[in-house]
Amino acid sequence: MIVFQSVAGTRRKPLVAAVVLAALLGTGSVAAYDWKPLPGEPPSPAHNPTTPAKVELGRKLFFDPRYSATGTVSCNTCHNVMEGGDDGRPTSMGVHGKTGPRNSPTVWNSAFASVQFWDGRAKNLEEQAKGPVLADVEMGVKELDIALGIVASIPGYRELFKQAFPEDENPVTVDNAARAVAAFERTLITPNSPYDRHVKGEEDAMSEQQIRGMRTFNEVGCTSCHGGPAFNGPQPELPEGSGFYQKFPLFTDNDYVEKYQLADDTGRHQATGRDADKHMYKVPTLRNITLTAPYFHNGTVNSLREAVVIMGETQLNKQLSEQQIDGILAFLEALTGEFPAMELPRLPSRSGESVIRDNVPPVTGGAH
């Protein structure tokens, strides 16, 4: 794995590099590994403290498609919080039916990731919230100020911004919109899974097969990358903007790499700008993994069982037995947490006049 650090005003650069093959091929036990539950409360960063008013504004912006180029695509279009926090497609569909090159990551528990996007190019949720608005294959708006102008033209939104940012003389800004969306997204956590209850001492919260699968998950080397409370490595403890990455695929001498086009991405790594970092991806969370098919950065694998087999071959250089696969799948089911109650918000309107525009010229660039 490689950890990259995001430095304000500079290109992200390698911070720490470690060879982990020995760890990947090593052994362990359930007792020896430090199994951690997901925190019951999300982080609230000093640069954007969570408040109810911010969350409510962010909720409405998250569900509102009207500031996209066609008035048809919202954050929830690709990150459906009424289900697994993704969209169930290999790659997401944005304005004018365009599709991008990457599978939509789940927004659930994204608060516990130290960077955002598959390549980690956004240092936090605030920065990430701006990206899809401009991406031609997502919301397709040429400039953030155009999207903000649509929002600002709605009286109800102007009042919500005032409530969320009462100390700002001009609260309706792009940065504040991003802060509000990020504040809402940080509330999207799913603690209290059977796994969480088990490691807190409720022995019967997991079945015997799930406990055996938990042991197998560690013994074969999965925890070398997918450890920690969010099963995304040390990201919940890393400084904001420092990502945790792994090359994928790591071992390419198998049929799966070609079958599922796992190494087809080309071009420099967007987080570091280096050709040498191609195929380095942020280690994703495994929380609620049974709800987020299809799998991997390109969404080419529709079955979780197949995904487990592929991870064994491409990341561990192992052919897992059917018993090992069954156990790991049972354990992954235990990572589905409790979802907060979600209601579609009532969006503010502009009386007697539509705010939707479809005259924004197409732009290029951007992906999950």
Average pLDDT over residues 83-97: 97
Q: Which residue has the higher pLDDT, 11 or 248?
A: 248
**So what's the pLDDT on residue 73?**
97
**So what's the pLDDT on residue 84?**
97
Two tokens, residue 316: 């561990």
**So what's the pLDDT on residue 345?**
97
**So what's the pLDDT on residue 264?**
86
- For 229-276, the pLDDT digits (tens) are 999 999 999 999 999 999 999 999 999 999 999 998 766 677 777 888
**So what's the pLDDT on residue 13?**
42
Domain-located, residue 43:
no
Answer yes or no: do 287 and 319 share one domain: yes
Over 80: is that where the pLDDT of 4 sits? Answer: no
Is 311 annotated for ligand binding?
yes
Answer yes or no: do 86 and 173 share one domain: yes
CATH number at residue 222: 1.10.760.10
Average pLDDT over residues 33-45: 96
In terms of Cα–Cα distance, which of 74, 61, 84 is closest to 339? 84
Is 206 annotated for ligand binding?
no
Domain stop point among 187, 215, 236: 187
Domain-located, residue 302:
yes
If one counts the domains in the chain, the total is 2
Is 82 annotated for ligand binding?
no
Burial 174-210 (b: 16+ CB within 10 A, else e): bebbbbbbbbbbbebbbbebbbbbbbeeeeebbeeeb
Q: Quick one: pLDDT band at residue 32, thresholds 50, 70, 90?
A: confident
Domain limits for position 66 = 52-187
Answer yes or no: do 169 and 148 share one domain: yes
Answer yes or no: do 129 and 172 share one domain: yes
Two tokens, residue 56: 């409510």
Percent with pLDDT over 90 in the chain: 82
**So what's the pLDDT on residue 276?**
81
Domain stop point among 136, 162, 187: 187
Q: How does the average pLDDT of the chain come out, rounded?
A: 90
- Cβ atoms 226, 232 nearer than 8 A: yes
- Rounded to whole angstroms, the Cα distance separating 368 from 134 reads 12
Average pLDDT over residues 267-292: 88
In terms of Cα–Cα distance, which of 119, 120, 146, 117 is closest to 132? 117
Tell me if residue 353 is catalytic: no
- For 347-368, the pLDDT digits (tens) are 999 989 899 865 555 555 555 6
Residues β-bridged to residue 295: 301
Domain-located, residue 37:
no
Answer yes or no: do 272 and 302 share one domain: yes
Answer yes or no: do 155 and 283 share one domain: no
Over 70: is that where the pLDDT of 21 sits? Answer: no
Is 47 annotated for ligand binding?
no
Average pLDDT over residues 211-219: 98
- Rounded to whole angstroms, the Cα distance separating 357 from 345 reads 22
Answer yes or no: do 172 and 231 share one domain: no
- For 176-205, the pLDDT digits (tens) are 999 999 999 999 999 999 999 999 999 999
Domain-located, residue 114:
yes
Q: Quick one: pLDDT band at residue 8, thresholds 50, 70, 90?
A: very low
Domain stop point among 164, 187, 210: 187
Q: 126, 138, 185, 313: which one is catalytic?
A: 138
Domain-located, residue 163:
yes
Over 80: is that where the pLDDT of 319 sits? Answer: yes
Over 80: is that where the pLDDT of 9 sits? Answer: no
Domain-located, residue 346:
no
Over 80: is that where the pLDDT of 334 sits? Answer: yes
Angle between helices 174-185 and 52-63 (to 10 degrees): 100
**So what's the pLDDT on residue 275?**
81
Is 96 annotated for ligand binding?
no
Domain-located, residue 91:
yes
Answer yes or no: do 207 and 121 share one domain: no
Over 50: is that where the pLDDT of 59 sits? Answer: yes
What one-character-per-residue DSSP string does 236-288 give? GGSPTTEEEEEESSS---STHHHHTTTT---S--TTT--GGGTTEEEPPP-TT
Is 222 annotated for ligand binding?
yes
Answer yes or no: do 201 and 329 share one domain: yes
Domain-located, residue 207:
yes
- Give the largest Cα separation in the chain, rounded: 66
Answer yes or no: do 248 and 118 share one domain: no
- Rounded to whole angstroms, the Cα distance separating 13 from 293 reads 32
Over 80: is that where the pLDDT of 25 sits? Answer: no
Answer yes or no: do 200 and 329 share one domain: yes
